[in-house]
Chain A
Amino acid sequence: EAGVTQSPTHLIKTRGQQATLRCSPISGHTSVYWYQQALGLGLQFLLWYDEGEERNRGNFPPRFSGRQFPNYSSELNVNALELEDSALYLCASSLEVRDTQYFGPGTRLTVL
Chain B
Amino acid sequence: GIQVEQSPPDLILQEGANSTLRCNFSDSVNNLQWFHQNPWGQLINLFYIPSGTKQNGRLSATTVATERYSLLYISSSQTTDSGVYFCAVLGRGFKTIFGAGTRLFVKA
| Residue ranges of A at the interface with B (Cβ–Cβ < 8 Å) | 33, 35, 37, 42-45, 48, 55-56, 58, 88, 90, 92, 97-103, 105-106, 108
* Cβ–Cβ < 8 Å partners of A100 in chain B: 33, 45, 48
By the criterion CB–CB under 8 Å, are B45 and A102 in contact? yes
Q: Write out the residue numbers on chain B whose beta carbons fall within 8 Å of the beta carbon of A58.
A: 95
Kindly report which residue of chain B lies nearest to residue A42, judged by CB atoms: B100
A33, A42, A90, A102 interface centre (most CB from chain B within 10 Å): A42
Picked from A42, A56, A98, A101, the residue with its CB within 8 Å of the CB of B95 is A56
Q: Which B residues lie at the A interface, using CB under 8 A?
A: 30-31, 33, 35, 40-45, 48, 86, 88, 90, 93-101
Kindly report which residue of chain A lies nearest to residue B50, judged by CB atoms. A98
Q: CA of A101 to CA of B43 in the docked complex: distance in angstroms? A: 10
- Please, which residues of chain A bring their CB within 8 A of the CB of B94? 48, 55-56, 97-98
Question: If A105-B41, A106-B41 touch, does A43 touch B98 (CB 8 Å cutoff)?
Answer: yes
- Residues on B with C-beta less than 8 A from A101 are 33, 45, 88, 96
Q: Are B43 and A90 in contact (CB under 8 A)?
A: yes
B90 with A97: CB separation less than 8 A: yes
Once the chains are docked, how many angstroms separate the CA of A45 from the CA of B47?
19
Establish whether residues B96 and A45, one from each chain, have CB atoms under 8 Å apart when the complex forms: yes
Rounded to whole angstroms, the CA-CA distance of A56 and B96 in the bound complex is: 10
Q: What residues of A have a CB within 8 angstroms of the CB of B96 in the complex?
A: 33, 35, 45, 48, 101
Q: A33-B96, A42-B99, A88-B41 are known contacts; what are 17 more A-B pairs with Cβ within 8 Å?
A: A37-B41, A42-B100, A43-B98, A45-B96, A45-B97, A48-B94, A55-B94, A58-B95, A90-B43, A97-B90, A98-B30, A98-B31, A100-B33, A100-B45, A101-B33, A103-B35, A105-B41
